[in-house]
Amino acid sequence: MENNDNIAPSQNIHFCPSCKSENIQKLSLAYMSGASKTKGVGIGAGMGGGVGLGVGVGMASNQTLLSSMVAPPKISSPFAMALLIWALIMMAGVFAILIEISNDTLTFVLMTVLLFASLWCASKFYHWIDSGNKAKTKEYNKKYICFRCSNIFELAQ
Ligand SMILES: [Zn+2]
């Protein structure tokens, strides 16, 4: 009720497509206000790069349910993922070269090529993850939640 104060007047012309209620809010704003009220409920892995670390939410109050519904998408750290890819390629490549090649010069050349190739792959991968994250965040920022029927929707611009 008191939350209606921070909804800009221009937003009031929008309404929920399912129940026509005007009591809607941007997911990101709903999440921020909800998250500040429910301290201690860890949601999402954040920027640390831990993928899919499910944090046990002990209590199932409406507030925590709401926070989980409006939580931003889990994104993986592009740097951590790129580093992982780089390490895997390097390990596999070095292993293969050491097993297959006995010529020192050729080994050196292949190692150099491997280093650049793996860095190139890692940087491609970094940009791929990064743009995926940006797309997810952009999608999320377009979404609204209806506080009356809990419908989550995108407003037609
Ligand atoms: Zn609704």
The DSSP-derived string for 90-138 is: HHHHHHHHHHH---HHHHHHHHHHHHHHHHHHHHHHHHHHHHHHHHHHH
Edge-to-edge strand order for the sheet containing 143-146?
A: 24-26, 143-146, 152-154
**What is the model's pLDDT at position 65?**
74
Burial class (CB in 10 A: 0-12, 13-18, 19+), 117: middle
CA of 132 to the centre of ligand 1 (A): 29
CA of 157 to the centre of ligand 1 (A): 18
pTM: 0.62
Summarised one tens digit per residue, pLDDT across range 92-138 is 999 999 999 999 999 999 999 999 999 999 999 999 999 999 999 99
Summarised one tens digit per residue, pLDDT across range 11-23 is 447 899 999 999 9
Mean of per-residue pLDDT scores for the chain = 80
**What is the model's pLDDT at position 31?**
87
**What is the model's pLDDT at position 124?**
96
Region 42-61 average pLDDT:
42
CA of 21 to the centre of ligand 1 (A): 5
**What is the model's pLDDT at position 69?**
85
**What is the model's pLDDT at position 37?**
53
Residue list, CB under 5 A from ion ligand 1:
16, 18-19, 21, 146, 148-149, 151
CA of 143 to the centre of ligand 1 (A): 13
Domain ranges of the chain: 2-72+143-154, 78-132
